[in-house]
């Protein structure tokens, strides 16, 4: 772990967001592709976050750097909190989308394959690859937070903005753990690069299949023209949106032997979020209401 490299403080926040099961759809008007992609990812996150925790905790006893041990502990806390809050969100999504329950199983299938066929170090490398994807998505969301925050329903916006901040805060932890236990040699580089290639293919497939399950069921009653148009835009462009919001230069940087997540220093996005939500997660139930979280 390079203590001279930029990094962010990993904060353990206590969050308790509430989601109305009767309002699990249409939470970001006029952005059907964004809603489809984020809903699909939310349904996949609990399986993914459990995989992340399992992968890094296996090596907890081998970490000798005290700062990295503390960062790992905080990483696990944040991921467990993400699992809990996306669980609340996902119950609302399942109440509004008949196919939603299948999406988490799709993520479980792909991650199950990594468990069955991959070594412990390979699973950790897959975790590093997935964390790189979540960090890139977080960078995009936080960079467009003003638009995202003004268009979406408060509880969903808060969930995604908070999750994005914490993904940014801890984006280097799994990579540091990987380098600590696997080293920085040629073999470690080849393993993490191969893991990224397979992860890219698997994640794209999982999102594509998951988005299909999130399509609304056909109804005998004709939908309004505006709703049909929005649905067509959303269902056809979830993967296109993913391709657009992933910065490919940043993605390709992962294949550099000298890569580290904090080579891309975006701490300013964390600070901008803190200004917008100054006390979010500071205590149970605190700053989770739109008026207080937005500082208004």
Domain of 186, CATH number, reads: 1.20.1260
How distant is the alpha carbon of residue 53 from its chain centre?
A: 14
pLDDT of residue 3: 62
Confidence of residue 88 (pLDDT cuts 50, 70, 90): very high
Question: pTM of the prediction?
Answer: 0.87
CB distance 230 to 32 below 8 Å: yes
In a domain, 21, yes or no: no
pLDDT of residue 238: 58
Residue 39: give the domain boundaries: 29-283
As a dihedral over the C-alpha atoms of residue 237, residue 243, residue 245, residue 248, rounded to 10 degrees, the angle is -170
Question: Between 276 and 224, where is the model more confident?
Answer: 276
How distant is the alpha carbon of residue 127 from its chain centre?
A: 12
Q: Which pLDDT tens digit goes with each residue over 143-157?
A: 999 888 888 899 999
| pLDDT > 80? residue 127 | yes
Tell me the mean pLDDT in the region 281-291.
49
Cα–Cα separations (whole angstroms), residue 138 to 78, 273, 277 = 15, 12, 16
pLDDT of residue 32: 86
At 159, is the secondary structure helix, strand, or coil?
helix
In a domain, 156, yes or no: yes
Tell me the mean pLDDT in the region 64-77.
97
In a domain, 119, yes or no: yes
Tell me the mean pLDDT in the region 266-282.
92
CB distance 261 to 171 below 8 Å: yes
Question: Between 26 and 90, where is the model more confident?
Answer: 90
Q: Which pLDDT tens digit goes with each residue over 3-50?
A: 667 889 999 999 999 999 988 888 988 888 889 999 999 999 999 999
| pLDDT > 70? residue 98 | yes
| pLDDT > 70? residue 249 | yes
Taking the C-alpha atoms of residue 95 and residue 114, their distance in angstroms, rounded to an integer, is: 30
pLDDT of residue 294: 34
Taking the C-alpha atoms of residue 205 and residue 4, their distance in angstroms, rounded to an integer, is: 38
Question: Between 162 and 28, where is the model more confident?
Answer: 162
Taking the C-alpha atoms of residue 141 and residue 272, their distance in angstroms, rounded to an integer, is: 12
Q: Residue 4: count other Cβ atoms within 10 Å of its Cβ.
A: 5
Taking the C-alpha atoms of residue 245 and residue 34, their distance in angstroms, rounded to an integer, is: 10
| pLDDT > 70? residue 283 | no
Confidence of residue 217 (pLDDT cuts 50, 70, 90): low
| pLDDT > 50? residue 57 | yes
Backbone phi, then psi, for 89, in 5-degree steps?
-60, -45
| pLDDT > 70? residue 284 | no
Q: Which two tokens stand for residue 210?
A: 């998951």
| pLDDT > 80? residue 289 | no
pLDDT of residue 282: 75
Number of domains making up the chain: 1
Where on the phi/psi map is residue 26: left (φ > 0), alpha (ψ -120 to 50), or beta?
left
Q: Which of 259, 234, 264 is nearest to 247 (CA)?
A: 264
Q: What percent of the chain has pLDDT over 90?
A: 72
| pLDDT > 90? residue 201 | yes
In a domain, 16, yes or no: no
Tell me the mean pLDDT in the region 264-268.
96
Taking the C-alpha atoms of residue 171 and residue 135, their distance in angstroms, rounded to an integer, is: 6
Q: Token pair 């794209």 is at which residue?
A: 204
Q: How many helices (H) and strands (E) does the chain have?
A: 12, 0
Per-chain mean pLDDT for the chain: 87
In a domain, 22, yes or no: no
In a domain, 296, yes or no: no
| pLDDT > 90? residue 240 | no
Taking the C-alpha atoms of residue 75 and residue 135, their distance in angstroms, rounded to an integer, is: 13
pLDDT of residue 248: 87
In a domain, 11, yes or no: no
| pLDDT > 90? residue 172 | yes
In a domain, 269, yes or no: yes
């Amino acid at each position: 772990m390079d203590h001279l490299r930029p990094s962010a403080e990993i904060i353990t926040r206590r969050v308790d967001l509430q989601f109305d099961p009767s309002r699990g759809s249409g939470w970001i008007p006029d952005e059907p592709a964004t809603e489809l992609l984020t809903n699909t990812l939310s349904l996949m996150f609990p399986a993914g976050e459990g995989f992340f925790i399992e992968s890094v905790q296996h090596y907890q006893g081998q970490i000798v750097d005290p700062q990295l041990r503390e960062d790992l502990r905080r990483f696990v806390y944040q991921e467990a909190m993400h699992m809990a809050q996306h669980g609340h969100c996902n119950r609302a999504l399942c109440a509004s989308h008949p196919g939603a329950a299948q999406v988490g199983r799709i993520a479980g299938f792909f991650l199950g394959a990594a468990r069955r066929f991959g070594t412990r170090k390979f699973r950790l490398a897959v975790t590093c690859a997935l964390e790189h994807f979540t960090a890139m998505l977080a960078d995009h969301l936080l960079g467009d937070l003003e638009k995202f925050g003004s268009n979406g329903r408060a509880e969903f916006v808060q969930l995604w903005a908070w999750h994005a901040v914490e993904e940014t805060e801890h984006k280097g932890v799994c990579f540091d753990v990987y380098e600590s236990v696997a080293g920085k040699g040629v073999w470690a580089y080849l393993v993490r690069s191969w893991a990224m290639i397979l992860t890219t293919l698997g994640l794209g497939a999982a999102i594509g299949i998951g988005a299909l399950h999130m399509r609304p069921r056909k109804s005998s009653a004709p939908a309004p023209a505006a709703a049909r148009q929005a649905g067509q835009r959303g269902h056809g462009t979830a993967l296109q949106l993913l391709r657009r919001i992933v910065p490919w230069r940043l993605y390709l940087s992962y294949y550099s032997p000298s890569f580290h997540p904090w080579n891309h220093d975006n701490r300013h996005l964390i600070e901008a979020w803190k200004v917008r939500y100054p006390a979010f997660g500071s205590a149970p139930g605190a700053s989770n209401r739109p008026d207080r979280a937005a500082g208004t």
